Structure formats: C-alpha cells, structure tokens
C-alpha cells in the first residue's frame, strides 16, 4: 500500500500516542488502509459526473475537489479589506468557513464518522477501543485539514500583506479551533439525533446536507466577484449578550481584543469562549464516544418512525391527468421510488436546489451600473423562471436509473399489454413530485415581485415545462424507468443533458416573440396546450 505523506508527518508524534496508551503501529496501519480505500470515493461536488474511464478509477478524486474548495474560499477575500472592524470582519469569515467545513463534513465524511464496520471488524481483533476511536477521529481530521487549507490558503496569504503577521497567526489559530469545534459539535449532533430517532432520519439529514453543499458551491461561484462591493460599505457592529450563543462572534471578538485592545466584559467573555469552547466540546465528545458508538448500531436498523403509518393517497385533481388505473398505479410506484431511492435523491435533488436559485442568479446578472431592483421588477426579468427548466433534462435522464434496478423483472409480471402507462406515470410523478413544488414556489415569488399581470406568462412557462419533459424523454430513446444501474452511466450522458438544454432558449425566444403580437401570449398558450396533448399521446 501507498505510504502517504500525512502518515510520515504523523510519525513525528509517535511518542505522544504511545504515552497516551495507543498502539501506534496498529493506528498507523488502520489509517493507511482507510486512506487507500478513500481513493475510490467520489466527493459530493463530483456526484453529478458520469462514470470515469477505467484508467482513471484509481485517481484520488478528493484531491481534485480541493480546487473547488479553493475557489469557494475566494469569497473570504473581500472581508480582509474591511479595516478596523474585526468583529464583523472575522465573524463573517469564520461563519462562512464554518458553513463550508460543516456541510463538507456532513456530506462527505459522515460515512467515516458513522462507520459501524470498525466495531464489527476491528473489535474482533486484539485492538483496543481507544485505538479504533482515535483512528476514526484522525481519519476525519486529516481530510478536514486538507479542505481547511484549500479554503483558507489564498485568504491567509493575502492577510499577511493586508492585515499583518499578527492577524495571520490569529487566523491560523482560529481555523484550527474552528475545525475542532465543528468536528465535535457535528458528532454530538449525530448523537442527539440517534438518541431520539432512528438511523433513517439521520440518513435523510445527511442527504439534505449534501444538497445544501452542492447549492453552496454554485452560489459561491456567483458571489465571489460581487462580494467585493462590500469593501466600500461602512458596517457597524456592536457586541450584545445574546451573541454569546453565536460561535463566529467569539472569534471575531478575540481579534477585536488582541488587535484593537477592546477589554470590555463582553469582549473578554467572547474571547474566553473562543479559546475554551472548542476544547470543552472536544472533551465532551471524547467522554461520549462509548455512547456514540453504541447508538451507531441504530444505523443497521432500516425501520422508520413512520412504520405502521399508512400514507393516505388522495389523488383528487390528479385523476384529471392520470387517465387509466394502470397509469395511476405506476404514478404511485414512481412517486415512492423518487421519494425513497436514496441514491436517486443524492444525484437529482441537488439540481432541484439549483432550479430555485438559478432564476434569481440570472436576474441578479441583469443588474448593471446604477440599475436598481425596482427597474428589474418592472421589466421582463420574469422570463428568468425558465432557468428552473435546467432541472428537467438531468432528472428525466435519471429516471431510468435505480439502485435496485435488478427488480425491473417485475414489469414483465404485470398484467398489462402496453408499457405506455409506465412511461407516463413516471414522467408525471417527476412533474408532480419534484418540478411542480419548485415551480409553484417560484411562481408565487415572481407573482409577488412582478405583480399579477405575469400569471399568463407563468402559465405559458408551466405548459412549456410539460412539453419540454416529453421532449427530453423522447431524446433519451424512451428507456423504461428504474431499469438501469447508476454504475452504467457514461460520461456521454453529460453531453446528452447539454444538448437537451439547448431547447430552453428556443422556448424563451418563442415566448418573447408571442409578446410582440397583441394578445399573442394567450394564443401561444393555447397552441402550447394543444401541442402538449399531442406530444403526451405520442409516447410509445
């Protein structure tokens, strides 16, 4: 196995581990095996990519992801130029840093923190529980350190020239203590969840964190350039007693105390919390490690708190869109798959988050010079709602994949003469379960921002989305839903999605042209409804 550089650095502290009663040779071997296995793990920010070529399978994808974290870290730069306002400046930087590290820890390293294989495999060997626990903690710390360095490297270098060496040293100390606080608090948070809920609830929380991380990556890129406008803003922030509950304020106040000489009672209280808070949290985590390891056994339990509670399905108005009993049956089946397929949710749900923020990002990019938001809301920026269409190609493509694809044989056992209800039921399940909630949320916001006169335009966009869904399905060769393995995905699938996206400008252009004719948008809406009827009937 590869002898990693980080393990050679760890050898420098060999005697410290031995004095602490830890079997260092065994600890080192465990870490070496874990780091070797991690080379095949794909980080969350790469989850949307297709299958890599065989000759690249052994590459460590984590190291590549550090480039993305370095780009995210650029958002910290503008705050370095806010002179003489350390409380706001550092508190904001630490808050952003904590968000990035915590979401990364939850999304990418929960599988490490919540690994129950150590207990079942290593505990059967002559290895102490202390060695196993320390190995798990060090495993996480190694990768969190990599991410921290990637995020903070450029801001740290810039801080030397902008704020001075003392600021730089304090910042390094702060980042170390923040990592300590994040790891221990996250573990304790998991412990509380496992104490009162089952493993499925915790897995759902991890899924949501992965979605948030993917959204943060996208939004972070957009805000890097615009965030430099903060440099010219005069911001005043005064300490209050309730800010004792906000950890980033602790570290901001520490800078204020050291660099500005602020020695008030609140400032000193914040500074003390900044120093001892992470240490105390780590001691509490270490104290509860046995309890945490015991509660982890719940992860082997696949039951849910909602067990025995039947969901009442009341189709109501959906019956207008689900013509036959077979179609309604497959609609229910596809809806459950979309809700419960964990790997499907991991690959599709992040794009749902993009669908919410992309229209506003487009809207933000239309503001130039002295243009205000009022001028945007009086124009035709409501057309940015077509940005939510970006979720359709990838989601429709993903409908053909499943982690339980081997169960597709059941389709052939059903007493149906045509698979058309299966296709229609799955597509409509996507529309009603995933797309419509997002589009409805955006439509309400847009109606509030732009006024009720855009309702007809929102209706046109909705009908266009239904037509676009069928187009994407047909371009995918009408593959049966949930019949293929995620591992069979090829990199070429990304090109398919890109080609499908080219239809979105076409819909936007036709919508714009319809407004050049008096009442043209109403006629265009009726034409779209008729084409929709024909396209859904043409599914084979």
Buried b (16+ CB within 10 A) or exposed e, 197-212: ebbbebeebbbebbbb
d(CA 58, CA 203): 27
d(CA 529, CA 526): 5
Structure tokens at 103: 């979401």
Q: Quick one: DSSP state of residue 125?
A: S
Structure tokens at 177: 């203590």
Q: What three-state secondary structure class fits 198?
A: coil
Rg (CA), the chain: 27
Q: Give, rounded to a whole angstrom, the gap between the first and last alpha carbons of the chain.
A: 53
d(CA 205, CA 330): 28
Burial class (CB in 10 A: 0-12, 13-18, 19+), 265: exposed
Q: List the domain boundaries for the chain.
A: 63-300, 316-537
Helices vs. strands in the chain: H and E counts, helices first: 22, 0
d(CA 458, CA 467): 14
pLDDT at 51: 46
pLDDT at 52: 45
pLDDT mean for each 10 residues of the chain (540 residues):
78 84 85 76 51 47 74 82 75 82 69 65 74 80 84 89 88 89 80 69 66 60 49 54 74 82 79 87 80 67 46 57 80 85 74 77 64 65 86 85 78 76 86 89 88 89 91 78 72 66 89 88 91 84
| 210 strand-pairing partners | none
| pTM of the predicted model as reported, rounded to 2 decimal places | 0.60
Residues 6 or more apart whose Cβ sits within 8 Å of residue 218 = 354, 357
d(CA 397, CA 352): 14
């Amino acid at each position: 196995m590869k002898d990693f550089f980080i393990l050679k650095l760890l050898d420098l502290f060999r005697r410290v581990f031995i004095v602490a009663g830890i079997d260092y040779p065994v600890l080192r071997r465990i870490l070496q095996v874990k780091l070797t296995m991690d080379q095949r793990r794909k980080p969350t920010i790469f989850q949307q990519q297709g299958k890599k070529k065989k000759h690249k399978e052994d590459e460590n994808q984590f190291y590549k992801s550090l480039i993305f974290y370095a780009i995210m870290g650029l958002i910290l730069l503008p705050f370095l130029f806010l002179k003489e306002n350390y409380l706001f400046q550092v508190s904001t930087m630490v808050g952003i840093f904590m968000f990035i590290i915590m979401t990364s820890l939850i999304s990418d390293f929960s599988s490490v923190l919540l690994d129950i294989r150590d207990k079942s495999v290593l505990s059967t060997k002559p290895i102490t529980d202390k060695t196993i626990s320390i190995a798990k903690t060090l495993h996480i710390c190694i990768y969190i350190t990599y991410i921290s360095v990637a995020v903070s490297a450029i801001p740290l270098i810039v801080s030397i020239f902008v704020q001075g060496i003392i600021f730089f040293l304090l910042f390094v100390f702060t980042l170390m203590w923040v990592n300590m606080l994040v790891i221990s608090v996250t573990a304790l948070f998991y412990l509380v969840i496992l104490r009162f809920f089952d493993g499925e609830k915790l897995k759902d929380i991890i899924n949501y964190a992965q979605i948030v991380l993917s959204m943060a990556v996208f939004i972070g890129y957009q805000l890097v350039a615009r965030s430099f406008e903060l440099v010219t803003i005069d911001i005043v922030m005064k300490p209050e007693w309730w800010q004792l509950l906000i950890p980033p304020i602790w570290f901001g106040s520490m800078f204020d105390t050291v660099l500005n000489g602020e020695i008030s009672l609140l400032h000193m209280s914040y500074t003390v919390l900044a120093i001892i808070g992470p240490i105390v949290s780590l001691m509490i985590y270490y104290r509860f490690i046995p309890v945490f390891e015991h509660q982890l056994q719940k992860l082997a339990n696949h039951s849910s708190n909602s067990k025995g509670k039947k969901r009442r399905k009341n189709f109501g108005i959906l019956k207008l869109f689900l013509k036959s009993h077979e179609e309604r049956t497959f609609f229910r089946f596809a809806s459950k798959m979309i809700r419960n397929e964990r790997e499907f949710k991991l690959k599709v749900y992040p794009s749902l988050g993009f669908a919410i923020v992309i229209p506003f990002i487009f809207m933000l990019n239309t503001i130039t010079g002295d243009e205000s938001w009022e001028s945007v809301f009086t124009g035709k920026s409501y057309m940015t709602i077509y940005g939510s269409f970006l979720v359709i190609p990838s989601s429709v493509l993903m409908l053909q994949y499943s982690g339980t694809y081997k169960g597709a044989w059941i389709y052939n056992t059903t007493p149906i003469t045509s698979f058309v209800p299966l296709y229609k039921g799955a597509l409509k399940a996507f529309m009603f379960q995933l797309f419509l909630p997002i589009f409805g949320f955006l439509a309400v916001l847009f109606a509030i921002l732009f006024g009720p006169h855009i309702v007809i335009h929102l209706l046109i966009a909705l009908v266009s989305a239904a037509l676009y869904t069928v187009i994407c399905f047909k371009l995918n060769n009408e593959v049966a839903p949930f019949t293929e393995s995620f591992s069979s995905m090829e990199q070429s699938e990304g090109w398919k999605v890109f080609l499908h996206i080219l239809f979105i400008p076409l819909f936007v252009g036709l919508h714009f042209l319809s407004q050049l004719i008096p009442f043209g948008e109403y006629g265009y809406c009726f034409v779209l409804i008729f084409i929709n009827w024909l396209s859904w009937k043409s599914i084979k």
